[in-house]
Structure 1
Amino acid sequence: MTDILSLRNVDVVRGARRILTDINLTVHAGEHWALIGPNGAGKSTILSLCGAQQHPTRGTVHVLGSRLGRVEIRKLREAIGHVDPRHPLRSALTAREVVLTGATGTTELMPRWTPGPPVRERADRLIDALGLHAVADADWTTMSQGERGRTLIARALLTKPALLLLDEPSTGLDVAAREQYLETVDRLHRLRPELATVLVTHHLEELPESTTHAALVKDGRLVAVGAAQDVLTTELVTESFDHPIRIEHRDRRWYARAIRTPATAHPDAI
């Protein structure tokens, strides 16, 4: 199997603070990973390493066969699709223009840059495939969060990346929009079986059905890594979140619910 990502004995230290400790993770082509853990656990830092956005303090990171620190970062980033619902767009671009910025890896359209016919044609195909035809010429500021999310997927796929990173993609979505988004991700996995994806979340209900692997993160360390069915268990998730949480897997989706513990406080204390 082709290694898409390989993190070996990775530490990340910022100032006097240790962010990550001894991270070991390998992602192969066609695998769909979830990074799960409480806020501040280190998930986003791991994702930034996967996306060549920062370097490890110690250890090695290989992305698409290239070792960070020994490769031209900009060229490497062009081969990585990144979906972030906090996309910092300030201009009044249309959905189609946002998709086209994926060709240059920028937030805004590059001055004096004109996409060629093949790029425009691919952008339009992605817009149609993701159900965005009706809003292709809509202003970004008028679009719903769900429409924006699908637009960012189209943007990330424009360069035909081998790796797609999704950073809490369901942020800000209502239940219906979240389900539509997850259906889109599942359909993408079916249409691009070789594509490797890594999704960050702290809500198991936000995992697509097609999730194959998971890594639980706690205090900058990996609690468990492996097949999703083996990792997303009541015992391991409880350990990761340091709180009793019951995990169920039914109809190919995961569900989490806190396990109630007997009350110990006097009623008048609340």
Structure 2
Amino acid sequence: MGSVLQLTDVSVVRDGNRILDRVSWEVQPTDRWVILGPNGAGKTTLLQVVSASIHATEGESILLGETVGKVDVFDLRPRIGFASSALARRIPADESVLDVVLTAAYSVTGRWNENYEDVDIRRARRVLAEWKLDHLAERRFGNLSDGEQKRVQIARSVMTDPELLLLDEPAASLDLGAREELVQLLGNYARSSEAPAMVMVTHHVEEIPPGFTHALLIADARVRAAGPIEDVITEPHLSEAFGLPLMVERSDDGRFAARAA
């Protein structure tokens, strides 16, 4: 199988400002990528390009074998799992957790008159169990904790067996316990041979789950380093990207930590 994503000299320009500047990047089906960089670096914009939510101003984007701009994006998007805070804000607060996950089958965020088969319901319940959410199936989404809502979003994003999974800051705003639980679950999923290619945006190396294989470091709209994670998450690369001398450590279980030197 070929790459699931290939960007060639992709730029995004808004009001004369380059939000992304000539980004080239390739993701293989078994890759698990983390995107790191300071605020305003272009991380979320890059994820929007990759999800076919926006079109690049310049360059070529090939997504799941299709050239964006020459294919109906509504045919592409169901093949991509996407979890983000922006998506969570569109989910009705009174929607049950089961329905939040189930409605991914129709790419909608509120159950209405769709008809779901028993196989869809069984699949949704299995996914909830895999993400330790089965006991919350009948709870209302708006009544969940931040950590539970984050896991429901991820469960929804994998409901349709996507070929590419995109996670935009899945651990943001979580307390220590909720973060560690989520990182552990994501690490287990990343190690699974059945998981799709994964791309996760984060601000903190401590949130990188074990099992992630590659990293892309972006600053000032440009890629500063990309490749195997051990080659990118280094003191020189991070110090340059964040503009501060940093010390980086990696534990035996693959977790990273960084602090000012």
| Pairwise TM-score range, normalised by the shorter structure | over 0.9
Instruction: State which structure, 1 or 2, has the greater radius of gyration over its C-alpha atoms.
Output: 1
Whole-Å separation in 2 of the counterparts to 1:198 and 1:141: 27
- 1:23 Cα shift? 0.2
Return the letter of the residue paired with 1:241.
F
Whole-Å separation in 2 of the counterparts to 1:244 and 1:121: 51
- 1:246 Cα shift? 1.1
Whole-Å separation in 1 of the counterparts to 2:239 and 2:19: 21
Q: What TM-score do you get using the length of structure 1 for normalisation?
A: 0.93
- 1:193 Cα shift? 4.3
Q: What TM-score do you get using the length of structure 2 for normalisation?
A: 0.96
Q: Does 1:40 align with 2:31?
A: no
Return the letter of the residue paired with 1:6.
Q
Residue number in structure 2 paired with 1:19 = 19
Q: Residue 106 of structure 2: which of 88, 104, 107 is its match?
A: 104
RMSD of aligned Cα (Å): 1.2
Q: Does 1:239 align with 2:203?
A: no
What do residues 189-212 of structure 1 show as CA deviations (whole Å, max 9, x unaligned)?
Answer: 233445100000110001001110
Residue number in structure 2 paired with 1:268 = none
Whole-Å separation in 2 of the counterparts to 1:180 and 1:194: 19
Return the letter of the residue paired with 2:172.
T
The aligned runs of 1:56-135 (5 Å cut-off) are: 56-86=56-86, 87-88=88-89, 89-109=91-111, 111-135=112-136
Return the letter of the residue paired with 1:173.
L
Whole-Å separation in 1 of the counterparts to 2:181 and 2:193: 18
Residue number in structure 2 paired with 1:2 = 2
Structure 2 unaligned segments of length 5 or more: list them.
none
Whole-Å separation in 2 of the counterparts to 1:184 and 1:165: 15
Q: Does 1:220 align with 2:221?
A: yes
Whole-Å separation in 2 of the counterparts to 1:95 and 1:157: 14
Whole-Å separation in 1 of the counterparts to 2:134 and 2:113: 26
Contact 1:29/1:194 (8 A) holds in 2: no
Whole-Å separation in 2 of the counterparts to 1:192 and 1:84: 24
Contact 1:94/1:136 (8 A) holds in 2: yes
Structure 1 unaligned segments of length 5 or more: list them.
260-270
- 1:151 Cα shift? 1.1
- 1:114 Cα shift? 1.9
- 1:243 Cα shift? 1.1
The secondary structure found in structure 2 opposite 1:69 is coil
Seq. identity, %: 37
- 1:65 Cα shift? 0.6
What do residues 46-85 of structure 1 show as CA deviations (whole Å, max 9, x unaligned)?
Answer: 1111111011111000111111101111110000000113
- 1:39 Cα shift? 0.3
Contact 1:204/1:255 (8 A) holds in 2: yes
Residue number in structure 1 paired with 2:258 = 256
Return the letter of the residue paired with 1:78.
P
- 1:17 Cα shift? 1.0
Whole-Å separation in 1 of the counterparts to 2:248 and 2:192: 29
Residue number in structure 2 paired with 1:182 = 183
Contact 1:189/1:210 (8 A) holds in 2: yes
